Structure 1
Amino acid sequence: MTTFGLVPGAGGSAWYWSRVVPLLEQRGHTAIAVDLPATDDSAGFDEYADVVAAAIGERDDLVLVGQSMGGFTVPLVCDRIPVARLVLVNAMIPTPGESGGEWWTATGQGPAQRELDRREGRDPDAEFDPAVTFLHDVPADVVATGADENQFQSGTPFEKPWPRPAWPDVPTRVIASRDDRLFPVDFQVRVARERLGITPEIVPGGHLVALSYPAELAAAIQSDRGDDR
């Protein structure tokens, strides 16, 4: 069966995947959720990729899944261990030489989020509230369970340019959540088409879809549907 390597985004907590792992294992797959050194100011995306490769090791039929900021990490892992397929979930998709910090302006994320906020009746100038942006569709008991799992995210990865000369020659799928308030779905569709030539598969849920709609995400991760690059 397939091994799924599950890479989180900012904060680097493997707990993000806690509701998806058992669903993949029930289907006979191996699921490895990786903790990243998010609090380490000496660690950038290369170091994150080293940690992922070490945690997973060389596996047959490895599908590497990157969420949010994990979109910068998972392509680098392909230079370290064999990867059969990449799956991006509400992910930042980098271009060569672009830092994590530059990505926001280069893609137009800010205006896209502001427009969505206006369209849905939220104040685009309101102070950031994770409950509004990230947790709006996550069940309260799940939020409570993960209260101690939130980690500080070092700014180091956002400062260093993405080191790959191009996207790896690995089949890639993109999954976008319909109700993502940080990366609006139409924004994700545009960026994926512009940068990878891929039209994302749309699933229900917000930015933290693995916590809010784990069954739907697990099914999408295992599916062969969607455009491949």
Structure 2
Amino acid sequence: MKIAVVMPFRPQPSREYAHDVSVAHWRRALPAIAVTDIDTDDEPFNPAACRNEGVRRAARSGADVVVVADADTLVEECPLWQAIRGAAASGLVHLPYTEYRSLGADGTAQHRAGRALRDCTAVTVHGACSGVYVTTPATWWSHGGQDERFRGWGFEDAAWEVAHTTLLGAPPVRHEGRAYALHHSPAVKEGPQYEANAALCHRYLEAAEDPAALRALVRERDTVPSPPRL
């Protein structure tokens, strides 16, 4: 089985530490696998577009399974391998955690000083459905990937989970374990684009019980011209 790790990332001073720790983490967990940073050059940075592009590049490389990992998120090895094996066969996306811990500034400083992740101060984010996705390219595209109209930060993961659950008939498969999100300066989560993202996510939620409406919403985005990339 050929595995690829792709990581949406745009260099920023506050994010360099989390990125470097994440890359080192994946090199330990999957030592024979290259970690590829992905940036589509959209303005603002577009995580959904980067995830889609990462899956495309992995598919072109011949990968059977793709780990799509945020550049600040670490997961435990046992659930990771369970997710890889499961994603290869199930036709569903797998999430290698059941508990998502946000370390914050204090917890990240503790980890930086040598404390084990499990012992660092953290806040559990209930309902988290992002951070690390494990999928085959075919599964990712079977429910449309992620909607690139979610520009900037916010809501693309929630809309993706709705599309997955509605169009594939089941939520993403979770594996018992923990994910850990390292601290960095937060993205701006306000303003017209953030409000547009919230409104688009609301449309996904409204279509959640109607596969035909959800498919139409997914197809609709393909008819909307993308803003120019700078």
- TM (normalized to structure 2)? 0.34
Q: More helix per residue: 1 or 2?
A: 2
- TM (normalized to structure 1)? 0.34
